[in-house]
Amino acid sequence: MDDTTTVQDLKTVVKDFVEERDWAQFHSPKNLSMALAVEASELMDLFKWKTVEEAQEEMKGKLLEDATDELADIMIYAIAFANRYGIDVAKAVTDKMEKNKVKYPADKFKGRF
């Protein structure tokens, strides 16, 4: 689906879901950013106490399914934030990646942080 679904398609799905439930009234920047953080922490919780090797090895089956659901929740809240505040996601990502290229030039950061 990634090959055929646009960001706008996803924004519309989220917008329609929110509108059908009249949830925009709860979508303040504080609430949406907190919801995003909670969902990110739920993704992290799946890997708590695992070694890097264990986490990598277990990324199949149930853990992959759970991680996929948490990633979807993160993306949904991020899209809801973009919808609520008129953020062009493609432009935001493209612009930020350009800033990252300047901040982290490949010739200085390749293979390291």
CATH code at 77?
1.10.287.1080
Cβ–Cβ < 8 Å for 79, 88: no
Residue-level pLDDT at 60: 87
Q: pTM for the full model?
A: 0.92
State the average pLDDT over residues 50-77: 95
Number of domains in the chain: 1
CA–CA separation, 55 and 58 (whole Å) = 5
8 found inside a domain: no
Q: In which domain, by residue range, is 59 found?
A: 29-104
Cβ–Cβ < 8 Å for 41, 110: no
pLDDT at 1 over 90: yes
